[in-house]
């Protein structure tokens, strides 16, 4: 354990410093819950990303971050290294004189900023670079404008430093949040109109009467005009979707709000024209419109913030590769790649098209495109498939055998929208809206019929009072508030919702469809079963050799072994200068007359693959004599089995769908104690999507991390991904999540159920309030003054109750 980790108590976040008992349950970096399945051996961190960033902050004297950070932020992600090929395209777009001599003025998109502490950290890292001249960060939109002097420093060094802390910069593609900005303008204007109408109405409440001359008439018409403008300006936000929904035979929350506004305006106008300004409810009406806009803007603003927290790279236009030309390597959009182009694939970069490998061997990862967990080794002359990522420590060249337009990557990016995702119908609000509209109209008609024979003049007043007093203000404001608080609570836990209807969709989910590689597992291996004991039984020389040779290899097998022999005595660097890494076979070291090998059984010990249980084994041997036979498992996300067991106990049907081999998928199902009949392997993207459509009855949630899951995302009712470090998929998901575990699935589904309970309670309170208000209105006791008092009082009461029930201590789904 590093010194910074050991001395964690001195830099714990305010949330954990507030109470001693919180130290054992909260991550000292992000402040989030450690979770019920947290391994104490992992220390006081919720994930690898938080531990890594915490150590970096201490090592580089950046602990002021914790002074500026709020109590809880999303966990820090662990990002795959970026080659920054897109940066060359940005620089090439500068004028020639600027490109050569600077300064460079560049705009970029930014991923991962959540608070003022993030902004400070990015600015401090920039300040430490000699080439940095100016940096402007827009944390809401997720963009950066910077000025850089290329003669004084390499901009890639700053980008790499930022990446180590969990942030990522990319090419500019985000646009201003037009919808929330338009709502903000409408909201501000409507609030101003409401305040003016209230001042005009106060004059009537305090005695302005017809005998007071022209002022009485002017104030009345002003109130009518301003309230009409407010309804037209603010009400259109609700009228348009309500009308569109009716055309599709769907009623949702916007319908009762729209009808309430329209009826209140019509009734107040009728009262104004027949009985004078003092009988109108223009102040109550405009306040109602303003409050509805506040709720709608807050909801949209948070969704846009969540979308902007990641780079906008959901399409092919955001993929960049490097093409060899007569002038050298040139960064080009992947869509411009043609057959015959020579491409340079840097470590960590995507191979955009099928290509023949040139000059030197390469190792690639196919999990993003096929779901296969094992890396593949290729030698010159072999075809490297499109969608593979370079997993080698070096770059390699390929000759494209196809254009991007016909590549597998492009086919999956263009996966058509199938299934019900864009046709979701919120049946709950359909029923509520239908009942509300019918009840309000019936009550108004009842009031009119009761009073018409007794007092025709008062009959219209009573009918208007019914229409105004039953405006769904409490429900229309409390529901968006409840959604916003739920979004905030999920965001603090690293669950960021991208679509506004996910919380409604989640209530219908009954089946969870899970990808394997990268979703349930990390891109890592771990020693299985007896293998660790076999390593412990090795003599000291063998362990030292094993430590030395695995330290120089980036292969997943080497990484898994390296940790198990970390306590072995180190060898001098020169002792392993003759180490050879043979692609597809393993490692070989000739030292002091002996040949040490680590790799497949035929290479290491001359054994036939599959004999002596050798299939899937790695053998460590000296002069062909096996010293240890090692077996590996894919490393599961922490608490994965327990989380899935909990979800199964809650009634969710769990399915495992993967492109990896059926044998590996069955083995994974056994490890997770899943029904073997629900585990399918060897599925290509189309077959996986077909299986989703077979299972889906408007009740599936697909969870995946690779481009091969994109068609399945479209086929399922809703979708989620942990792949915040890979392009495309987050832009197709309903939500994405940070952290190492799978708690996000339980949290998101539990939050939706909790929100529904609160909404039902609010509805019951609204019904109770309306019954009392209706009784007063039918009795002729509701005047404009009474309405102006009742509406805000009822709204404040329901809003306060909603906020209290959604507090951390009251929300049962937040328990780890």
Model confidence pLDDT, tens digit, residues 175-220? 766 777 888 899 999 999 999 999 998 888 888 888 788 888 899 9
Query: What pLDDT is attached to residue 5?
Result: 42
Query: What pLDDT is attached to residue 405?
Result: 85
Q: Is the CB of residue 170 less than 8 Å from the CB of residue 86?
A: yes
Query: What pLDDT is attached to residue 1?
Result: 40
- Under DSSP, is residue 511 helix (H, G, I), strand (E, B) or coil? strand
| Dihedral sign, Cα of residue 3, residue 8, residue 9, residue 11 | positive
Identify the DSSP state of 387: T
Identify the DSSP state of 82: -
Residue identified by tokens 């009031």 is: 447
Query: What pLDDT is attached to residue 253?
Result: 67
User: Model-level pTM?
Assistant: 0.79
Q: Is the CB of residue 703 less than 8 Å from the CB of residue 718?
A: no
Q: Find, among 308, 185, 168, the residue nearest to 237 by Cα.
A: 185
CA–CA distance, 587 with 578 (Å, rounded to integer): 11
**DSSP β-bridge partners for residue 321:** 332
Query: What pLDDT is attached to residue 79?
Result: 82
Residue 182, C-beta contacts closer than 8 angstroms, at least 6 positions apart = none
Burial of 147 (0-12, 13-18, 19+ CB in 10 A): middle
Q: Is the CB of residue 553 less than 8 Å from the CB of residue 627?
A: no
CA–CA distance, 331 with 92 (Å, rounded to integer): 9
Query: What pLDDT is attached to residue 432?
Result: 72
- Under DSSP, is residue 250 helix (H, G, I), strand (E, B) or coil? coil
Conformation bin of residue 514: beta by default, left when phi > 0, alpha when psi is -120 to 50: beta
- Under DSSP, is residue 590 helix (H, G, I), strand (E, B) or coil? strand
Reading across the β-sheet that carries 495-497, which strands appear in turn? 495-497, 735-737, 718-721, 700-703, 511-514, 653-657, 679-680
Q: How far is CA 759 from CA 122, 292, 478, 480, 763, in A?
A: 40, 16, 8, 10, 6
Query: What pLDDT is attached to residue 197?
Result: 92
Q: Is the CB of residue 632 less than 8 Å from the CB of residue 599?
A: no
Burial of 326 (0-12, 13-18, 19+ CB in 10 A): exposed
Angle at 737 between CA 74 and CA 333, to 5 degrees: 105
CA–CA distance, 814 with 807 (Å, rounded to integer): 10
Helix, strand, coil % over all residues of the chain, rounded to 5: 50, 15, 35
> How many CB atoms neighbour CB 133 within 10 A?
16
Query: What pLDDT is attached to residue 247?
Result: 80
Instruction: Return the H-helix or E-strand segment holding 667.
Output: helix 662-671
Residue 754, C-beta contacts closer than 8 angstroms, at least 6 positions apart = 486, 806, 811, 812, 813
Query: What pLDDT is attached to residue 312?
Result: 66
Q: Find, among 685, 731, 684, the residue nearest to 712 by Cα.
A: 685
Residues of the chain with pLDDT under 70: 1-24, 176-177, 250-253, 312-318, 373, 414-430, 433, 471, 473-475, 607-616, 727, 784, 808-816
Q: For the chain, how big is the Rg over CA atoms in Å?
A: 32
Residue identified by tokens 């979701």 is: 424
Q: Find, among 550, 739, 544, the residue nearest to 637 by Cα.
A: 739
Give the pair of three-digit tokens for residue 588.
């070989």
Instruction: Return the H-helix or E-strand segment holding 563.
Output: helix 556-564
Tens of pLDDT, residue by residue over 210-259, are 878 888 889 999 999 999 999 999 988 888 888 887 787 766 667 777 87
């Amino acid at each position: 354990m590093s010194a910074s980790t050991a001395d964690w108590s001195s830099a714990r976040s305010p949330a954990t410093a507030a109470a001693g008992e919180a130290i054992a349950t909260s991550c000292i970096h992000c402040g989030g819950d450690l979770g019920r399945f947290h391994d104490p051996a992992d220390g006081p961190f919720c994930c690898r990303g938080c531990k890594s960033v915490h150590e970096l902050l201490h090592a580089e004297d950046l602990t002021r971050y914790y002074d500026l950070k709020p109590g809880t932020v999303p966990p820090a992600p662990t990002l795959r290294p970026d080659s920054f090929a897109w940066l060359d395209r940005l620089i090439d777009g500068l004028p020639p004189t600027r490109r050569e001599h600077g300064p460079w003025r560049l705009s970029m998109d930014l991923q991962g900023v959540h608070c003022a502490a993030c902004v400070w950290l990015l600015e401090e890292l920039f300040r430490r670079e000699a080439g940095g001249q100016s940096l402007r960060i827009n944390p809401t939109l997720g963009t950066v404008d910077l000025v850089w002097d290329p003669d004084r420093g390499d901009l890639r060094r700053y980008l790499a430093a930022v990446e180590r802390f969990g942030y990522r910069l990319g090419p500019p593609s985000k646009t201003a949040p037009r919808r929330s900005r338009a709502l903000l303008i409408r909201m501000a204007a409507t609030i101003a109109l409401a305040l003016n109408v209230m001042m005009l109405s106060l004059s009537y409440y305090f005695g302005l009467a017809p005998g007071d001359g022209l002022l009485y008439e002017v104030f009345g018409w002003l109130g009518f005009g301003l309230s009409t403008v407010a309804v037209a300006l603010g009400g259109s936000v609700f009228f348009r979707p309500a009308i569109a929904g009716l055309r599709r035979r769907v009623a949702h929350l916007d319908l009762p709000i729209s009808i309430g506004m329209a009826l209140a305006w019509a009734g107040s106008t009728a009262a104004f024209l027949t009985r004078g300004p003092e009988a109108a409810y223009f102040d109550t009406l405009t306040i109602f419109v303003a409050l509805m806009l506040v709720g709608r803007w807050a909801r949209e603003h948070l969704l846009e913030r969540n979308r902007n927290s990641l780079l906008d790279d959901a399409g092919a236009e955001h993929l960049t590769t490097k093409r060899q030309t007569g002038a050298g390597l040139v960064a080009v959009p992947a869509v411009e790649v043609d057959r015959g182009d020579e491409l340079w694939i840097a470590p960590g970069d995507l191979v955009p098209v099928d290509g023949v490998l040139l000059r030197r061997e390469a190792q690639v990862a196919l999990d993003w495109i096929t779901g296969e967990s094992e890396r593949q080794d290729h030698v010159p002359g072999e075809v490297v498939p499109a969608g593979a990522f370079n997993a080698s420590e070096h770059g390699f060249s390929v000759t494209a055998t196809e254009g991007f337009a016909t590549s597998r990557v492009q086919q999956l990016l263009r996966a058509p929208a199938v299934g019900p995702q864009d046709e979701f119908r919120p049946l709950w609000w359909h029923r509520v809206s239908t009942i509300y509209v019918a009840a309000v109209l019936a009550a108004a008609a009842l009031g009119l019929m009761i009073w018409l024979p007794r007092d025709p003049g008062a009959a219209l007043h009573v009918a208007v009072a019914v229409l105004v007093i039953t405006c769904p203000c409490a429900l229309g404001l409390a529901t968006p508030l409840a959604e916003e608080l739920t979004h905030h609570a999920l965001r603090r836990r690293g669950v960021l919702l991208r679509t506004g209807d996910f919380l409604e969709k989640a209530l219908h989910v009954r089946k969870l469809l899970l990808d394997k590689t990268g979703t349930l597992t990390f891109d890592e291996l771990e020693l299985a079963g007896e293998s660790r004991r076999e390593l412990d039984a090795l003599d000291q020389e063998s362990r030292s050799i094993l430590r030395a040779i695995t330290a120089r290899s980036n292969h997943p097998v080497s990484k898994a072994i390296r940790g198990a022999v970390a306590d072995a005595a180190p060898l001098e660097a020169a002792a392993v200068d003759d180490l050879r890494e043979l692609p597809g076979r393993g490692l070989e070291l000739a030292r002091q007359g002996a040949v040490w090998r680590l790799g497949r059984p035929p290479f290491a010990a001359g054994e036939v693959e599959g004999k002596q249980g050798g299939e899937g084994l790695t053998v460590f041997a000296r002069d062909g004599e096996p010293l240890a036979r090692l077996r590996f498992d894919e490393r599961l996300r922490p608490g994965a089995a327990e989380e899935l067991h909990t979800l199964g106990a809650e009634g969710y049907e769990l399915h495992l769908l993967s492109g990896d081999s059926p044998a590996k998928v069955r083995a994974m199902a056994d490890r997770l104690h899943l029904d073997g009949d629900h585990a399918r392997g060897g599925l290509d993207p189309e077959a996986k999507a077909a299986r989703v459509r077979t299972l889906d009855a408007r009740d599936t949630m697909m969870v995946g991390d690779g481009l091969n899951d994109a068609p399945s995302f479209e086929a399922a009712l809703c979708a989620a991904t942990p792949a915040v470090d890979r392009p495309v998929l987050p832009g197709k998901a309903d939500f994405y999540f940070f952290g190492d575990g799978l708690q996000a699935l339980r949290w998101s589904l539990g939050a939706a159920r909790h929100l529904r309970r609160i909404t039902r309670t609010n509805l019951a309170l609204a019904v109770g309030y309306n019954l009392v208000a209706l009784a007063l209105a039918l009795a002729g006791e509701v005047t404009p003054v009474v309405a102006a008092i009742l509406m805000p009082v009822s709204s404040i009461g329901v809003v306060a109750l909603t906020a209290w029930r959604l507090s951390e201590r009251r929300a049962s789904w937040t328990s780890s």
